[in-house]
Chain A
Amino acid sequence: MLLHDTALIYGRYLRQSLRSRFALLFGVLMPLLYLLFFGPLLTDLPLGERGSSWQVLVPGLLCQLGLFGASFAGFAIIIEKGQGVVERMRVTPVSRLALLLGRVLREATVFVFQAVLLVLAAMAMGLRAPLAGVLIGFGFVALLTVSLAALSYALAMKLSTPQGFGPAINALTMPSMLLSGLMLPMSLGPAWLDVLSHLMPFRYLVDAVRDAYVGTYATAHMLYGVLVAVGLTAVSVTVGTRVFRTAGA
């Protein structure tokens, strides 16, 4: 039943995404601009990492794509709440977990599509990375997308004022982006900043994807990355489902 319901909800929202192809491309615009106008600045800088500057930057941009794309996913549910669609679905016997999973899997699908575009563009700019590493990178950021989208939906369900949603998300995503070293490795910074950034879960994902992009898979970064990604997903989906089950007010 869970599978049936999830597929149903997923199909509904995937068709919704396909209807707005413009938004689909627009989502990838920001990381693409970073790639074009920021990437070339790094090519000759000593970044203290293995591989080329593209192998450092592109994993960061993928996480940025996931971070910003998924964090704002909740906007969709604010609109649907207003239309009464959420309640209409919640009075049917449909699985509450499926209401969440179907939606977040759509976000993950959209992410993968945008991520492939981004990586292709990066390859044109000069990125060279092992295929396995690129695929592992997609896996990590897909999990990031799933967890952030789940949390974003949960927040949007709870929040009664849509005006508050944008600022709240902005206030959370900006420090997350800066502290996780998406643009430049945190190891370049002073010790206190490096320590601080270790409190930011996304940092472990970025480090793991960077390792994958230089083709080293059996590393401590990778282990921490997997643990954080799986832990974050489990917690977020649990929180999200709880909210869909009990959402009141």
Chain B
Amino acid sequence: MAIISTAGLARTFRTKRGPVDAVRGIDLTVREGEILGFLGPNGAGKTTTLRMLTTLLAPTGGAATVAGCDLATDPAGVRRACGYVAQSGGVDPQITVREELVTQGRLYRLTKTQAAERAGELARDLGLTELLDRKCAALSGGQRRRLDIAMALTHRPEVLFLDEPTTGLDPGSRADLWELVRRLRDEHGTTVFLTTHYLDEADALSDRLVVVDRGVVVAEGTPGALKLEYGGSIDATLQDTFLAITGRSAAPADAAP
């Protein structure tokens, strides 16, 4: 069953140099409980698509539903159903981990007691218990990412959007994060929609890949199927497959802000 489906989802930015079509028309479906790798060169429209699907940015064309809620008519429903971790994360470095987690719970309309309980639960689940009274600025990169994800999981979302979650992490932290993503799906049935530039990550983690380029979907399928179709063999590297799909080695300058 499709938990996300989009039809012709598009976003045009008006700039001084004229309109920029960051996303030209994305058609995709994501099945419930799936880990979807959303790939594409810089400026392909990945982040813009994510920001539309999480209600941060209004589409200029097309339609989409997330967890049965229409993006245009029921943004509140979409917000209840999804969690989002942006590339930059989203915590104030001067605030303690506990305060951020509790405030996040309160933003999801939990009572004070519920929010404090949920903060404790999330901290236990994500290995942050000892860090609760530290300022966010004092966390390592991997710990920061776990906190960002904990924040996004506050309301037990059905869909979790992760925008380049492992960028800048050391190999150990990356492995931990992969483990976490798999656990979320296996234990809670959470659908995970993630973008990444690390093709080994996409290969290891994703059930299915969607490759976008210049604002449209150019390929989709399991990593194996894509390798076979575009890389010429099941043993092709995802790197070669990716380059074959996007048809170039270097991407043009970022089109989307």
Q: Which residues of A come within 8 Å of B, CB atoms? A: 1, 4-5, 8, 12, 15-16, 19, 80, 82-85, 87-94, 160, 246, 248-249
Contacts and interface: CB of A to CB of B under 8 A. Distances in A.
Given A84-B88, A248-B58, A12 B109 contact: no
14 contacts: A8-B106, A15-B99, A16-B94, A16-B95, A80-B92, A84-B86, A84-B91, A87-B51, A89-B90, A91-B79, A91-B82, A93-B80, A248-B57, A248-B58
Given A93-B108, A94-B107, A83 B92 contact: yes
Given A8-B103, A84-B86, A91-B82, 20 more contacts: A5-B107, A12-B103, A16-B95, A83-B89, A84-B87, A87-B84, A88-B84, A88-B90, A88-B104, A89-B90, A90-B56, A91-B56, A91-B84, A92-B79, A92-B104, A92-B107, A92-B108, A93-B107, A248-B56, A248-B58
Interface in B179-224: none
Nearest to B88: A84
A80 B92 CA distance: 8
Contact of A88 (B51, B86, B94, B106): B86
Contacts of A84: 86-91
B257 interface: yes
Interface residues of B, number: 32
Contact of A83 (B13, B90, B151): B90
B79 A93 contact: yes
A82 B88 contact: yes
Interface of B: 13, 51, 54-58, 76, 79-80, 82-84, 86-95, 99, 103-104, 106-109, 151, 257
Contacts of B107: 5, 8, 89, 92-94
A83 B95 CA distance: 12
A85 B85 CA distance: 11
Given A8-B106, A91-B82, A93-B76, A246 B58 contact: yes
Contacts of B104: 88, 92
The 6 tightest CB contacts between A and B, nearest first, are: A88-B90, A84-B90, A84-B88, A92-B107, A248-B57, A84-B86
B88 A249 contact: no
Contacts of B90: 83-85, 87-89
A83 B109 contact: no
Contact of B257 (A16, A94, A249): A249
Nearest to A82: B88
Nearest to A246: B58
A50 B30 CA distance: 73
A12 B94 CA distance: 11
Query: Which of A1, A4, A92 has the most CB atoms of chain B within a 10 A radius of its CB?
Result: A92
A8 B105 CA distance: 11
A82 to B, nearest CB: 7
A6 to B, nearest CB: 12
A5 to B, nearest CB: 8
A1 B86 contact: no
A91 B89 CA distance: 13
Contacts of A88: 84, 86, 89-91, 104, 151
Contacts of B84: 87-88, 91
A80 B102 CA distance: 18
